[in-house]
């Protein structure tokens, strides 16, 4: 309740004044806290760098950052996602040819806390500043790599060209830091997108391609001819082998016939020298033997009777003589033979 004072006014009770003072103090503290509070939402793919009075205090992972009464603290958000840079540059090959090359470099900031702290102190969080440093290193690596390839090699093996650029960006002499380590980034990939040459060189490349096609076609045709020749040679060898085998058989048969002929002549000569009448008698006996059983045998005039008689004397008829004997129909009786002295 209020009370009237002696001067005619009203005054609050003492306890009420104290509550109001406390409320005012609380409101003041809350106001100061809100005014000096630091709040930040860090998304995936980002990192927060906590800076207090110009010094990096820590790294905030993705999530919510809240700190009251932090008037000298700030949160710097840095992008650690994968990014892409495309560079176009005119370079010279090892064979002194000028050409334009387009490459693509994929990279990301090193997300380790120590690397982020060092990157903030050397480069900052602005991507444009990082791109300026990175583009300079890429251009230097591109110039160095182009001098190690001829233009024809660069056109035919782009993967090797990209690998050489990667080596220049990620490797350094002993005791030095590589370009990507100097700017605290991780190299994800390097691709050669396009190589543009002058019109004259493009014409020469087209002529070279046509010539290579002609050479390949000629080589295939030559291989076909060589295969056909090899096949013909094989057939000729087979035919020659068959002819040689046939000729050997004929020669062996002729030699066998000549050997038998010589043996027959030797036997005939021996019989003739020893007893001509015995030779004639043997010939007659052969004729009588063939006309037994009322069968008439016709003997080829070329049959060697001397050899046949000689074998018959021992009880063996030569096989060579038997095929030369032909027998008429056995069912028809032949006329009685007439003996001839």
Percent of the chain clearing pLDDT 70 (strictly above): 72
Euclidean distance between CA atoms 138 and 134, whole angstroms: 6
Contact 106, 126 (CB under 8 A): no
CATH of range 83-197; options 3.50.50.60, 3.30.479.30, 3.30.572.10, 3.40.640.10 = 3.30.479.30
43: nearest Cα among 84, 83, 79:
79
As a whole number of angstroms, the distance between CA 312 and CA 284 comes to: 12
CB atoms within 10 A of CB 146: 25
pLDDT bin (cut points 50, 70, 90) of residue 260 is confident
- Annotate 35-63 with b (16+ C-beta within 10 A) or e (fewer): eeebebebeeebbbbbbeeeebeebbeee
Sign of CA dihedral 208, 212, 215, 221: negative
Q: Which helix (H) or strand (E) holds 327?
A: none
The region of weakest confidence among 62-71, 228-237, 316-325 is 316-325
The domain limits of the chain are: 14-78, 83-197, 201-274, 276-326
What is the average pLDDT value for the chain, to the nearest integer?
A: 79
According to DSSP, residue 187 is labeled E
Average pLDDT for 278-288? 70
Residue 329 pLDDT greater than 60, yes or no:
no
Tens-digit pLDDT profile for residues 164-210: 999 999 998 888 999 999 999 999 999 999 998 877 777 777 777 78
What pLDDT was estimated at residue 204? 73
Query: Tell me: the pLDDT tens digits for 94-129?
Result: 988 889 999 999 999 999 999 999 999 899 888 999
Lowest mean pLDDT among 8-12, 163-167, 326-330: 326-330
């Amino acid at each position: 309740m209020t009370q009237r004072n002696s001067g005619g006014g009203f005054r609050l009770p003492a306890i009420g004044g104290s509550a109001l003072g406390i409320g005012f103090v609380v409101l003041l503290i809350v106001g100061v806290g809100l005014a000096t509070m630091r709040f930040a939402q860090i998304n995936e793919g980002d990192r927060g760098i906590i800076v207090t009075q110009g010094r990096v205090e820590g790294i905030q992972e993705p999530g919510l950052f809240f700190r009251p009464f932090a008037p000298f603290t700030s949160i710097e958000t840095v992008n650690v996602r994968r990014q892409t840079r495309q560079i176009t540059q005119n370079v010279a090959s090892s064979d002194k040819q000028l050409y334009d090359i387009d490459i693509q470099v994929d990279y990301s900031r090193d997300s380790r806390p120590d690397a982020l702290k060092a990157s903030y102190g050397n480069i900052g969080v602005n991507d444009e500043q990082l791109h300026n440093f990175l583009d300079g290193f890429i251009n230097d690596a591109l110039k160095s790599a182009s001098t190690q390839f001829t233009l024809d090699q660069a056109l035919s093996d782009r993967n090797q060209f990209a690998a050489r650029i990667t080596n220049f960006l990620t490797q350094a002499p002993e005791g030095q830091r590589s370009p990507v380590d100097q700017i605290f980034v991780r190299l994800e990939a390097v691709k050669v997108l396009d190589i543009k040459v002058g019109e004259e060189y493009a014409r020469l490349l087209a002529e070279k391609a046509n010539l290579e096609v002609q050479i390949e076609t000629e080589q295939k045709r030559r291989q076909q001819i060589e295969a056909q020749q090899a096949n013909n040679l094989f057939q000729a060898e087979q035919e020659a082998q068959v002819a040689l085998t046939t000729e050997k058989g004929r020669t062996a048969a002729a030699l066998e016939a000549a050997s038998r002929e010589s043996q027959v002549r030797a036997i005939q000569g021996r019989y003739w020298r020893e007893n001509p009448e015995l030779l004639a008698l043997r010939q007659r006996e052969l004729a009588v033997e063939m006309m037994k059983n009322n069968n008439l045998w016709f003997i080829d005039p070329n049959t060697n009777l001397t050899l046949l008689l000689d074998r018959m004397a021992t009880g063996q008829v030569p096989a060579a003589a038997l095929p030369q004997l032909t027998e008429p129909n056995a069912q028809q009786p032949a006329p009685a033979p007439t003996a001839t002295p």
